Amino acid sequence: MISQEIKDFLDLQKLGYVATVSSDGKPNISPKGTIIAWTSKILAFADIRSPDTMKNLQNNPFVEINVIDPLLRKGYLFKGQARIIKGNSQFEEILTHYRKKGIKSPINAIVLVDVSEVSEVISPLYDMGISEQEIKSKWKKHFESL
């Protein structure tokens, strides 16, 4: 389900968005800079400062995660069910992975997402015949001008 191509993509992208729902039905979207493909069926992200996300997942484990390349305007949408882990060997293994990648922030817990569905997200600009290089160039210029 999570191919090597998707894993490589996630390793390059430094920001994704996790969508959860509160106990009173309100949506919550939270940016995450630690989304990784842990296995071919499981994503992981760290709870660094995610009180609403964690509370929501305790009440409702269903989650959507969107990771997009900001220059290419392409990426992936993942749907699945989350599990929160802390203080076990798997937590320590993933924590070690993050530390080796240079993440120094305190990590309160790890969220594992059992992915049930993966779909590509592609900008409608591609439907208009605009090339990947043109789109990348446009957005690169945009970000450089900030």
pLDDT digits (tens, 9 = 90+) for 4-23: 999 999 999 989 999 999 99
Q: Per-residue pLDDT averaged across 24-36, rounded?
A: 96
Q: Provide the domain limits for residue 40.
A: 4-144
Enter the tokens of residue 128.
């208009």
Give me the mean pLDDT over the 120-137 stretch: 95
Per-residue pLDDT reduced to its tens digit, 64-101:
999 999 999 999 999 999 999 999 999 999 999 999 99
Can you give the pTM of this predicted structure? 0.93
Segment 55-59 shows an average pLDDT of 96
Q: CA-to-CA distance for 124 and 129, rounded, in angstroms? A: 9
Mean of the per-residue pLDDT values for the chain?
96
Q: How far apart are CA 98 and CA 38, in angstroms?
A: 11
Task: Note the pLDDT of residue 146.
Answer: 84
**CATH code for the domain in which residue 70 is found:** 2.30.110.10
Which distant-in-sequence residues (6+ apart) come within 8 Å of 24 by Cβ?
A: none
pLDDT of residue 14: 85
- Residue pair 44/94 in contact by the 8 Å Cβ criterion: yes
What value does the mean pLDDT take over residues 104-121? 97
> Mean pLDDT throughout 55-72?
96
% of the chain beyond a pLDDT of 90: 97
Q: Which residue has the tokens 């997009």?
A: 68
Total number of domains in the chain: 1
- How many Å apart are CA 126 and CA 142, to the nearest integer? 18
Q: Report how far Cα 136 is from the mean position of its chain's Cα atoms.
A: 21
